[in-house]
Chain A
């Protein structure tokens, strides 16, 4: 590797060719401020449109200032990052940006976690000259089932566009208009709801300001809790417990399962359950379906479609309904754990405690924004009463806890309620890429071979590469597994399925990079992929700490089948726990 020698702020440094000035400076401990730039290094995601011009520095011999995020080091370069010229330029550009930004920080959902606010503070901006006659660029507000777009707060960092197009290949967001009125919007200026958006929420996850935020369901949940006629049941997804602590100043990857349970109980939920229970249930339903399809396929049944695709992720379901409707019979028909939970809670559990489903409110705590849309799907309701009433994100829960004067750090660990609070290690790892298929393998192996699995950690299925594959030996039967996280990666595998060249028997897809731990409802990573890595590690640690690590060993699942569902894929199970998909391909109709 060729080495480049340069000087930054009078310090010499050698860096590999292709290193940007900004990264070289960081090596020297010089943190050049950036705004539009964002990198999730482990996931190979980088946004550098060089648009904000905050990270500029002086390069000797160069006519103008260089954007350090995207200017590569050259031999003999002499860089100065804090000359009066640079500081003045940076301040002036920041004043420009702030002059076209609403000043309602007091009531902005992003306040306190806003990168623009942080930058304004860091640069010590105390005044915006000319503000009294400065026009501001505005665009209509757009609310969808999951995401609110308030583009008056958009600073054109283009991160959302990069996530939506380059990473997710969804293509719902791109820059429109020009000059001062440039903004980011779906094609033909449609609302998000009528676009190809999958509600994966990755745009929200990277938005530095309050331009893209989740729809807040906390007030509805509060109303339900306040209503004495309602029995309010809460379920929490696996990825929440390894991220919630971040909102309270704990290190990423801190497991706060017990404290979270205590907090939820303190908030007034009648029953604090675990989505993990439903994840175990998913494994039995989906695993059975996999084995059924696989054996029929191996027996030459051409109606058995292989590969089977996981269907736990609502962003992913939206994606194939919109982009691959021709393949809608390929994914598993199993509902997602959130919806399985809702269906069981409002049938089996409601019966058990003698509550009418209309008087039960099921709330889910999810790392995800697509879940908000998913629980509103018509097919997931009975006579207009949804199986899951409200889905709130990890961030919303954190805000809710703070509003209730609860300091999560001082709470004592509490357990989930029974029976829908019991889970195995297999269900915990649902929250990370590769986890669902690993959990499925643990059960499918034992069911298929009738043998006890010796090695529970399928490390070959783990990791952060976008597309992974492994072959698992089912006692002589090689099962080819494919894994994709990020919809762009999923698209690659789906293209192969469509063209008939896919070699996989089963494919796990999660819409978000890293899986649910990197979901659009999680505490913001601010471009630090270590955060996502730490959450994954925490999930695997939680898995290892569980006495039971295979879904079919969950005694309450066994009991559920005995008392209620009979057996996996039974008629009753099908009715409650399985679904069907729709052709939602966007057709452009131009009316004259």
Chain B
């Protein structure tokens, strides 16, 4: 067994790393060696603790002592005091923000674990291809309970009372949706799972389907029982082969156990699930478009009403929920409405999965209670901004959302707060931007996605977004005029006001929020013909630094458009009217004589 009796875990997450965790490791090892303890105490560099704001972190095992904001020079104290004398270094302990008391044992730091996994409860825990592991984790117990002990109305009431709102983006009450579908009388009804995840950077649905497929099957059966449907359909994009394979395995296993099929749990309830493949059109995440696509028609939205609850798949009442929404349902049934509604904020209950992407250290999937602040998500769990750069904004809700800034960091995240701040929850993608990002380009970038993904049915989305995109392009190229800002705003508002479906109605959001929050940057592009972040190529200027130029002519020879003039051994000059900003000269120059303004 281990020759070490004690471990010092030093956070090597990118945030802490930047804050000299390497030096801490070195110093600790030196100290230990000096004291002859290097055979009994081991220093380990770990991944991120998700507590980067208080980094660097050093954790002492096995006593779970948690030191925060450790500096390299603290190494000596830790070794001498804690390891040799067995006394905790109080000055380095984490202090409870409320009581201001030091907390010695990280096991008591429940609040430290900002994340709470409900939808992701089994992801990374069970083998998704083995139904037994799901059952061992109380899988299908909720379905059993519902079928044996509850009436459909009781289930709907429970789901309503839990306060869960749809995780697909719009945040409509799940229970209410079920109730509407139940109320419509029909010989046939359908339960649809929307697994057409399409927001760039969002992959929580895929993770759930890959990591815990049975939870979706179970929830769909519960929904089927509640609304009176015996058929379930999962609309999943064909680009998710692993998720499809695991779903197929799960469906097969559930059928073998009799947990899907006829007479489930001997209650006479029948429920079957089939897969429908989507071709990856973003608009098919809109429920009417999704239904048309499943019917073999062009994936295009139609006007609501009629809502799918009245007339959906094949004209029958249909309930469409998102993967993440379904994933929490078994937990809500087993642990109760009160439990679920005790988590989160007043109007947004439970937890939400976010996919962190962009200029953030800990890119990944997290699940936090509603009401967690952006600061906690980005700087604590997410480990802060990459390479120690300055945070500039975070695009929430994918390309349909808005960009939130510094001033929104302490806003508790929930459906309504995000909308009030000019963004939206969307599917939960968070794209973090730093000081190097040009906000005009970012608005253009997000819009490019909606331009590409518009179905083309309605004029404002089909043409309007294209025009917005073109106008942003003009500004990025330094061809903008100040009145363009009013035009951008007017076009955006009209598109929001007139587009047919959610895609079009939200597509100008990035433009509007960038305009609101970063108007100066737009003006810099227009009036000063400068891109403050140095991203817009057309606005860059390559300049020869006269002090460094030796007149070697290398730059002039490499320039593809002959924009550089100058005699041998004379200082060269770049004609920016001719320059195409390709950067070849700068790359070629051995004397660092060319710089960008």
Query: Which of A's residues lie within 8 Å of B, judged by CB?
Result: 49-54, 56, 64-65, 67, 70-72, 85, 88-89, 92-93, 96-97, 99-100, 129-130, 133-135, 155-156, 174-175, 177-182
Contact sample, A vs B, 21 pairs, CB 8 Å cutoff? A49-B302, A53-B458, A53-B499, A64-B499, A65-B498, A85-B497, A89-B494, A92-B490, A92-B494, A93-B498, A96-B459, A99-B463, A130-B467, A134-B467, A135-B466, A155-B459, A156-B456, A175-B298, A175-B457, A179-B454, A182-B454
A179 partner residues in chain B, CB cutoff 8 A: 451-456, 462, 466
Q: Is B474 an interface residue (CB 8 A)?
A: yes
User: CA–CA, A129 to B471, complex, Å?
Assistant: 10
User: In B442-480, which residues have CB < 8 Å from any A CB?
Assistant: 451-460, 462-464, 466-467, 470-471, 474, 479
Do A93 and B464 form a contact, CB below 8 Å, given A53-B500, A64-B498? Answer: yes
Decide if A180 touches B463 in the complex (CB within 8 Å).
yes
A240 → chain B closest CB, angstroms: 36
Q: Taking each of A49, A99, A179, which has the highest tally of chain B beta carbons within 10 Å of its own beta carbon?
A: A179
Q: Is the interface of B mostly helix, strand, loop or mixed?
A: helix
A398 → chain B closest CB, angstroms: 31
Smallest CB-CB separation from B282: which chain A residue? A178
B303 partner residues in chain A, CB cutoff 8 A: 50, 67, 70-71
Q: Is B281 an interface residue (CB 8 A)?
A: yes
Q: Is B491 an interface residue (CB 8 A)?
A: yes
Do A51 and B458 form a contact, CB below 8 Å, given A96-B467, A180-B463? Answer: yes
Decide if B466 touches A50 in the complex (CB within 8 Å).
no
Do A53 and B459 form a contact, CB below 8 Å, given A64-B496, A89-B498, A175-B298? Answer: yes
User: CA–CA, A56 to B470, complex, Å?
Assistant: 25
Do A130 and B460 form a contact, CB below 8 Å, given A64-B505, A70-B303, A179-B455? Answer: no
User: In B255-299, which residues have CB < 8 Å from any A CB?
Assistant: 281, 283, 298
User: CA–CA, A181 to B474, complex, Å?
Assistant: 21
Starting from the known contacts A64-B496, A100-B466, 17 additional A-B residue pairs (CB-CB under 8 Å) come to A50-B458, A51-B457, A53-B499, A54-B459, A89-B497, A93-B498, A96-B459, A99-B463, A129-B487, A130-B467, A134-B467, A156-B456, A179-B456, A180-B462, A181-B456, A182-B454, A182-B456
Smallest CB-CB separation from A91: which chain B residue? B494
Q: Taking each of B454, B487, B497, B500, which has the highest tally of chain A beta carbons within 10 Å of its own beta carbon?
A: B497
Do A93 and B487 form a contact, CB below 8 Å, given A64-B497, A65-B498, A180-B454? Answer: no
Decide if A175 touches B300 in the complex (CB within 8 Å).
yes
10 smallest beta-carbon distances between A and B, as pairs: A182-B456, A179-B454, A96-B463, A92-B494, A53-B498, A180-B466, A89-B494, A96-B464, A51-B458, A50-B303
Decide if A130 touches B487 in the complex (CB within 8 Å).
yes
Do A180 and B498 form a contact, CB below 8 Å, given A70-B303, A96-B464? Answer: no
B490 partner residues in chain A, CB cutoff 8 A: 88, 92
Decide if B298 touches A174 in the complex (CB within 8 Å).
yes
B302 partner residues in chain A, CB cutoff 8 A: 49-50
Q: Pick from A92, A133, A156: contact of B462, CB below 8 A.
A: A156
A88 partner residues in chain B, CB cutoff 8 A: 490, 494
Smallest CB-CB separation from A175: which chain B residue? B298
B460 partner residues in chain A, CB cutoff 8 A: 53, 93, 96
Decide if B494 touches A178 in the complex (CB within 8 Å).
no
User: CA–CA, A71 to B304, complex, Å?
Assistant: 9
User: CA–CA, A177 to B281, complex, Å?
Assistant: 11
Do A133 and B300 form a contact, CB below 8 Å, given A50-B458, A179-B454? Answer: no
What string of 1s and 0s marks CB contacts (under 8 Å) between B295-330 and chain A? 000101011010000000000000000000000000
A99 partner residues in chain B, CB cutoff 8 A: 463, 467
